[in-house]
């Protein structure tokens, strides 16, 4: 089972969503307070059922938020970001060499986030 790990940094609080094997599958922005960080976690739980907007294909269909956006970064790797209903980015993924791996990362979030426990590092 996955878990959200909250960490305090010099600039505030962040969370990592880890899969059952301990791999980080998503990271958050920096929040000013631990309470705001926990609210971000709840937003991920609520919005992780979103559909995928594949921005790597020509003439892709623009979906309404919430959604996962799959895109390519400057290095040519595939990445995703989860946007909440208000359009804010609430979680991002690492770079993947293959689009299928990126989409598997999204599936892992959809599987792990709803029931993941919340712990402090």
pLDDT in tens, 70-87: 999 999 999 999 999 999
Closest Cα partner for 40 from 2, 82, 9, 1? Answer: 82
Topology, domain 3-120: PH-domain like (2.30.29)
Decide if pLDDT at 1 tops 90: no
Amino acid 52: pLDDT:
98
pLDDT in tens, 45-72: 999 999 999 999 999 999 999 999 999 9
User: How many other CB atoms are found less than 10 A from the CB of residue 4?
Assistant: 24
* Mean pLDDT, the chain, integer: 97
Sign of CA dihedral 50, 15, 72, 110: negative
| H or E element in which residue 26 lies | strand 24-27
pTM of the model: 0.94
Residue 48 CA, distance from chain mean position: 8
């Amino acid at each position: 089972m996955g878990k959200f790990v909250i960490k305090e940094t010099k600039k505030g609080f962040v969370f990592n969503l880890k899969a059952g094997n301990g791999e980080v599958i998503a990271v958050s922005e920096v929040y000013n307070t631990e309470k705001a960080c926990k609210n971000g976690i709840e937003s991920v739980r609520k919005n992780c059922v979103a559909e995928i907007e594949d921005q790597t294909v020509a003439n892709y269909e623009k979906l309404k938020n919430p959604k996962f956006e799959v895109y390519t970064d400057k290095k040519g790797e595939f990445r995703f970001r989860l946007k909440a209903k208000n359009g804010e980015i609430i979680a991002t993924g690492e770079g993947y060499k293959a689009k299928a791996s990126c989409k598997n990362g999204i599936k892992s979030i959809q599987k792990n986030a709803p029931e993941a426990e919340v712990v402090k590092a």
